Structure 1
Amino acid sequence: MQPTGQLRGDAVRVAGDARQRFYDSRGYGRPLDGNEIELSRVEAAHLLFRGDLSGIALDADADPVGFERFFVESAAATDRFAVRYLVYADLRDRGFYLSPAREPWPGGSAGVPDAVDFVAYQRGSTPDTGDVKYPVQVVGERESLAAAGLAGRTLAVVDEESDITYFAATAGRIDGETDYEPPERLDGVLLSDRVVVWDAPDGLYERGFYGQPLTGRAAAVEGAVQLSLVEAASLAADGVLSLSASVGTAGDAPDTGAADRDGPAAAVVARGRAVEGERFDRRLAVYKRLREADAVPKTGFKFGADFRTYLDVETVDDLPHSEHLVRVVDADHRFSPREMSLDVRLAGGVRKEMVFALTAVEGGSDGMTPTDDGDAARDADVEWVSIGRLTP
């Protein structure tokens, strides 16, 4: 006959030969005095479901109840019990030993963030050895998920049909090997949402992969390159790009004094904020970090991202495939699991790594003066998080 358990507070105690039967041989619970062990509610429910416990008494004078009653009572008493149970049972079925990631259970000594629900040990490891394979954070499909601090966690997303999708979140810093120094001087014209450099040297596009040439059949103009506002703002902040004129809204005459008044970097940044709002500073900060890391960022519009990146560009004629999709989000951003899954699925479908750039711009864009030349972008903190699908 299988043993029964006794619910005490938020844990279930099992006596008899429970230590040998459950903890020593299969890593359930935590040992107490003698052969008694204590199980978390999720662990106890799993043993009930398997028939390894015959029942659990909900109080000292009550008869033991079976899985159905215990499951319902636990779901009422414990936050997110149902989704946590589903993930625990799935990983157990995959051959992992797990512990709750909190004291006094063995997993509480793993040093993982508070948001982690379980630690799954390396196959062949037990709670005694402490070799953690996956720090598992359980997320329901309709919950929100803080983007900050995700690196190092395994995300187990439970959808409305109780299917589980696993994601690995890792530190996603991008480092490239593109060896290109922009020219010392470029002259451009600031248009409504881009900058045109009329006499760009060949290497600006061909080797540095800046901008896009103005081309067409039977074109009589050579050397003209259109720069995006983030490209132009970065080059201007580095002292490379100057402006000979600025064009605002339709019908306005070109302003040949804007750059003289505020400087080219401030003029481009102000225009970026005017057309894009507060996102411009975050995107500019990430663009600059990527260029500083010798990677080449280009627009990720076709993939629903902010940037796609090339790590090693020698010439545009021999361009490799881009390696990453980068989405820029605020440092306080909260994902919906559906949003995150869509980004990761799309990146995987085009054979790229999905990287989120969590960007905290000092002071934000609100209240910044038009003369700000991008100091906020230069001083921004960026946390890189790569998220991909995982099969445990």
Structure 2
Amino acid sequence: MQPDGELRGDGVHVGGDARQRFYDSRGYGRPLGGNAISLTPLEAAHLLFRGDLGAVTVDGETLGFEAFFVHAAAAGDRFAVRFLVYSDLRDRGFYLSPTREGWPGHNRQGGADADFIVYERGASPPDGAIAHRLRVVGERESIPAAGIDGTTLAIVDEESDLTYFETQTADPTGGTDYDPPADLAGVLLEDRVVVWDAPAGLYDRGFYGRPLSGRAATIDGALQLSLLEAAYLAERGSLRLDETLALAGTTDDANGAGDEADDAEGTADAIRRRGRTVEGDRFARRLRTYTDLRERAIVPKTGFKFGADFRTYLDVETVEDLPHSEHLVRVIEPDHAFVPRELSLDVRLAGGVRKRMVFALTDASSIDYRSVARITP
């Protein structure tokens, strides 16, 4: 015969041999002294669901699983979606502790905004090795980007299917060793810069820009730079805008730099202004990210084909022997909140093209990276 429980305050009291039966052997609840334990309503519902608990008395009424589930769900706290995740992980062989005050593991969140501590298989509360600090999210909830570091997200969609995402702080580093020359001269067009006589290494080894080339081309060495690439090179003192190279009659409108482009600072300012004109405030954030990645010896290239800001190459020796790009990077503001569907789309696409999804949280003055990948616990 299975034991019964009684709802007392915010916990379900179970007596008899409950400690040995549920806590010591299977990691449910918290000890109360002697052999009694207290279960969270979620734990109690799961034991009712499995038939390991007979019933729960609530205000003098004896409730089976269905009635108790409805009662607990009415109290809120995302009970239904949390129950789905709890049951799924229990079925996968994990012990879990709710991150509730007084329950085993509640003080082991490590700063994460977690619903459960999930222990490694074979480990149990309260001191077992931790596999996941798990946060449960419904499909229509929002997820603050700044708060996902180190948390495993369990997203429950409208049909009660579960998807798990691993999140962590990223510290990307590369091994690309190329210093651009300091005497590049270019022309600022509407949304890019052309360097007419670029040294071969700028593209072949630094992977800057894209050559103007073709079977019938008569011009050799012309290289188109994005505004981000051009701004970065100008800020390094490698690029200046040369008015003498601009088309006649387009000096002010097309080049947009004037006399101030004669020096690197003026060039950089002119290109940044053009970037703000064509892209708004996002340009400064994307430039901050581009610059940081280059300073980490990583080559960022456009991620447009993948719906991202950048794809990245960690170790470029020559473009002819280009390695596979490792990451997709999307630039977001630090206070950005993900919609789960948005997060799922980004991560699924990155995984589909054998890359890892990285989000760059930046306000154009500071930057932090978060890496997200889909996992199967």
Q: TM-score, normalised by structure 2?
A: 0.95
2:368 aligns with one of 365, 368, 383: 383
Residue number in structure 2 paired with 1:263: 266
CA contact (8 A) 1:101 1:112 kept: no
| Contact 1:96/1:122 (8 A) holds in 2 | yes
Quote the offset at 1:258 in angstroms: 4.7
The number of aligned residues is: 372
The one-letter code of the counterpart of 2:238 is V
Deviations 1:124-153 (A, max 9, x none): 111033311111100111111111131211
1:331-356 CA deviation, whole Å, 9 max, x = no partner? 11111111111111111111111111
Deviation of 1:385 after TM superposition, in Å, equals 0.9
What's the CA shift string for 1:28-67, capped at 9, x where partnerless? 00001111111111101000111111111112xx132011
User: Do the aligned residues in 2 keep the contact of 1:110 with 1:130 (CA within 8 Å)?
Assistant: no
Matched with 1:317 is 320
For the residues of structure 2 that align with 1:347 and 1:200, how far apart are their CA atoms? 33
Task: Give the equivalent residue in structure 1 for 2:85.
Answer: 87
| 1:17 corresponding residue in structure 2 | 17
Which of 103, 106, 126 is residue 105 of structure 1 equivalent to?
103
CA distance in 1, matches of 2:92, 2:123: 14
8 Å contact from structure 2 (residues 190, 254) kept in 1: no
CA distance in 2, matches of 1:162, 1:6: 29
Maintained 8 Å contact 2:112/2:148: no
Q: Distance in 2 between matches of 1:200 and 1:271?
A: 22
Deviates most, 34-43 or 244-253:
244-253
Quick check: 1:4–1:14 contact (8 Å CA) kept in 2? yes
Is contact 1:196–1:227 with CA below 8 Å preserved after alignment?
yes
State yes or no: 1:71 paired with 2:66. Answer: no
Tell me the equivalent position of 1:189.
187
Q: Which residue of 2 aligns with 1:281?
A: 284
CA distance change for structure 1 residues 250 and 238 in 2, over 3 Å: closer, same or farther? closer
User: What's 2:44 paired with?
Assistant: 44
Give the 3 Å change call, closer, same or farther, for CA 253–346 of structure 1 in structure 2.
closer
Give, as a single letter, the amino acid of the residue that structure 1 aligns with 2:17: D
Displacement of 1:381: 1.4
Q: CA RMSD in A?
A: 1.8
Structure 1: gaps (5+ residues): 362-379
Matched, 1:149 2:147: yes
Q: Which residue identity is paired with 1:45?
A: A
- Could you say which residue in structure 1 is the equivalent of 2:220? 222
Q: Helix, strand or coil: the match of 2:148? A: coil
Instruction: Give the SS at the match of 1:285.
Output: helix
The letter for the 2-side match of 1:169 is: T
Per-residue deviation, 1:360: 2.3
Inter-CA distance 243–250: structure 2 relative to 1 (3 Å threshold):
closer
Counterpart AA for 2:148: L
Task: From 350, 353, 366, give the equivalent of 1:350.
Answer: 353
Which consecutive unaligned segments of at least 5 residues does structure 2 have? none
Mark the CA change 1:114 to 1:58 in structure 2 (over 3 Å): closer, same or farther.
Answer: farther
Q: Secondary structure at the match of 2:371?
A: strand
Distance (Å, rounded) in 1 between the aligned partners of 2:163 and 2:299:
32
SS in 2 for 1:64: strand
The TM-score normalised by the length of structure 1 is: 0.91
Q: Deviation at 1:328?
A: 0.7
- Could you tell me how far apart the structure 1 residues matched to 2:253 and 2:369 are? 41
Equivalent residue number for residue 364 of structure 1 = none
2:49 and 2:259 map into 1 onto residues whose CA distance is 77
**Equivalent in 271, 275, 282 of residue 272 of structure 1:** 275
Question: Residue 99 of structure 1 aligns to a residue in which SS?
Answer: strand
DSSP-derived class of the 2:133 partner: strand
Amino acid at match of 1:382: I
Rounded to whole Å, the distance in 2 between the matches of 1:110 and 1:40 is 18
Question: Is the 2:55–2:63 Cα contact (8 Å) retained in structure 1?
Answer: yes
State the identity as a percent.
64
Measured against aligned partners, the alpha-carbon deviations of 1:50-98 in whole angstroms (never above 9, x if no partner) come to 1111111112xx1320111111111111321100000000000000000
- More moved, 72-81 vs 251-260: 251-260
Alignment pair present for 1:336 and 2:329: no
Q: Quote the offset at 1:15 in angstroms.
A: 1.0
User: Any idea what SS the aligned residue of 1:233 has?
Assistant: helix
Deviation (angstroms), 1:226? 0.6
Residue 362 of structure 2 corresponds to which residue in structure 1?
A: 359
How far apart in 2 are the matches of 1:213 and 1:205? 8
User: Matches of 1:88 and 1:344 in 2, distance apart?
Assistant: 23
Deviation by residue 1:347-376 (Cα, 9 ceiling, x = unmatched): 111111111111123xxxxxxxxxxxxxxx
Aligned to 2:299: 296
